[in-house]
């Protein structure tokens, strides 16, 4: 039962950022759980309206904090690509 409070997980850069600890620091599952709940609350990530599908695994992977406004449109295909992108991810045209 006390396994949840044992500090047995190394926080990588992502986990450390979410939990507000130093990268490489040992954290417990209880801390991770608390930290995630806090993070979700702070970022207002919790779905409030019913009927929406649960997050797909891909969406979870992309849940790392990004500045969503930091994108531009491809000159050629109008796809949304990272602002600093040199080539379009979709059509490969240089920007
Ligand atoms: Zn394109």
Whether 79 contacts 73, CB under 8 Å: yes
Q: Which residues surround ligand 1, an ion (CB under 5 A)?
A: 74, 76-77, 79, 88, 90-91
pLDDT digits (tens, 9 = 90+) for 4-33: 899 999 999 999 999 999 999 999 999 999
Flag whether pLDDT at 54 surpasses 70. Answer: no
Percent of the chain with pLDDT over 90: 57
pLDDT band at 50 (very low <50, low <70, confident <90, very high): low
Nearest-angstrom CA–CA distance, 4 and 12: 18
Whether 84 contacts 77, CB under 8 Å: no
Arithmetic mean of pLDDT, 61-65: 58
Please give the distance, rounded to the nearest whole angstrom, from the Cα atom of residue 77 to the centre of ligand 1: 4
Arithmetic mean of pLDDT, 57-78: 72
């Amino acid at each position: 039962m006390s396994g949840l409070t044992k500090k047995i997980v190394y926080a990588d850069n992502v986990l450390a950022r979410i939990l507000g600890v130093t990268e490489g620091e040992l954290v417990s599952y209880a801390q991770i759980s608390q930290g995630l709940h806090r993070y979700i609350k702070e970022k207002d990530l919790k779905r409030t309206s019913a009927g929406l599908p649960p997050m797909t695994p891909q969406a979870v992977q992309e849940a790392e904090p990004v500045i969503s406004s930091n994108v531009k449109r491809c000159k050629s295909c109008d796809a949304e690509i990272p602002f600093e992108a040199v080539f379009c991810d979709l059509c490969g045209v240089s920007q």
